[in-house]
Chains A and B, each alone.
Chain A
Amino acid sequence: MKSIFILTTIFLLFAAPAHAMHISEGILPFEWAAFWYAAALPFVALGIRRINVLAREDLSSKPLAGLMAAVVFVISCMPIPVPTAGTCSHPCGTGIAAILLGPLVSVVISAVALLIQALFLAHGGLSTLGANIVSMGVVGSFTGWLVFRFLRGCGANLAVAGFLAGLLTDWATYLTTSVELASGIRGNEPFLPLFTKILMAFVPTQLPLGILEGAMTAGMVVLLSRKRPDLLVRMGVIKVDEVSSHA
């Protein structure tokens, strides 16, 4: 009960209209908006299928999925001021969701979060939903998951792998947003200079926020490995022998 109260209070205290990185309504031309929808759709479909399989196989992953859905939704609309840049932005949270539940489930979670934000919070847009799903959901989730798996395969500990996965999830998301924006608005201009300009404009805000996202991801993975190592073993995040060595 205490944890529910504390989390609800924290999120209520920080409630403020979010001005952040999602591409706003109407920014992308129709053909590009349609292209990003088409790119996002297969991942969302596969993600829904994966959720059905998970729900059939193991009901105990449900609270974890609920927790991750809430975390991604809240984190991705929570504006965090960056003093060095004088701007606000937000972490994505898709890295941690992908590490714990798999990248496809994380894509669906971010698609739902982005849809609610676009519909009710004027955050992002319906026409740019596909592009936002691709940047935050698909690229963010797969980057976080791949980096985490790769580093764990190389023998990195949970905290280091989690930190770098979170960091690169954030940076990869903004890199993709830059690609989407540059390709959508460039007209007859060359792609590369505009892409570089957008990317450089993101750097002062996203560089420190990426580090924050890395720290959050590492903290959450380590906390869950202490509280529910059995669940992380079932989800394939850690191995059984690691649990016995911790205990």
Chain B
Amino acid sequence: MPERRRKWKFLALHILLFVPLLFGVFYLTLAPRQWQGVDEAVVEKIAREHGREARRPLLDPGEGDLLLFAFLCAGAVGGFTAGYSWRKLVSEKNRNHSHCGRH
């Protein structure tokens, strides 16, 4: 039980630290607050200066929240796959250990 409580304390501490950290990143920065990606800020900007414009993608998600939804789905699938694979990796080790213990 103390182990469980320690884990919760650890998680709570991280959540408490995460909010000021985000605040620090977004509001206390000295840099201009555009938060453009380097593809816009560097790649597309310099390409435009040299007469090359980025084209719209083949499957264009447009301007609304469709792209956000696509990223949400990608994050969910990626997160699930990573978690599932990690669990398999760790449970495989435990299985090997219990096998060794029996012999």
Contact = CB atoms under 8 A, between A and B. Distances in A.
A17 B82 contact: no
Contact of A125 (B53, B57, B80): B57
A18 B36 CA distance: 10
Contacts of A231: 89, 93
A198 interface: yes
A175 B94 CA distance: 42
For the residues of B in contact with A, the DSSP-based class is helix
Interface in B58-103: 58-61, 67-68, 70-72, 74-76, 78-90, 92-93, 96
A87 B58 CA distance: 26
B87 A8 contact: no
Contacts, number: 217
A126 B55 CA distance: 11
A213 to B, nearest CB: 14
A19 B39 contact: yes
A71 B102 CA distance: 35
B16 interface: no
Contacts of A197: 46
Nearest to A125: B57
A97 B87 CA distance: 18
Nearest to A126: B58
A122 interface: yes
A6 B71 contact: no
B87 A19 contact: no
B67 A1 contact: no
Interface stretch (A21-29, A34-42, A44-52, A155-163): A21-29
Interface stretch (A72-80, A143-151, A164-172, A236-244): A72-80
A198 B50 CA distance: 12
A11 B78 contact: yes
Nearest to B88: A63
A144 to B, nearest CB: 19
Interface string B31-63: 111111111111110110011111111111100
Nearest to B83: A4
Given A3-B86, A119-B58, A20 B37 contact: yes
A67 B38 contact: no
Nearest to B22: A81
16 contacts: A12-B72, A12-B76, A15-B71, A15-B72, A15-B75, A16-B71, A24-B44, A67-B81, A67-B82, A73-B78, A81-B25, A82-B31, A87-B38, A121-B61, A185-B47, A202-B42
7 shortest interchain CB distances as A-B pairs: A19-B37, A26-B55, A4-B83, A86-B31, A11-B79, A8-B79, A11-B75
Interface of A: 1, 3-12, 14-29, 60, 63-64, 66-67, 69-71, 73-74, 77, 79, 81-89, 116, 118-122, 125-127, 177, 181, 184-187, 189, 194, 197-198, 201-202, 205-206, 224, 227-228, 230-231
Interface of B: 24-26, 28-44, 46-47, 50-61, 67-68, 70-72, 74-76, 78-90, 92-93, 96
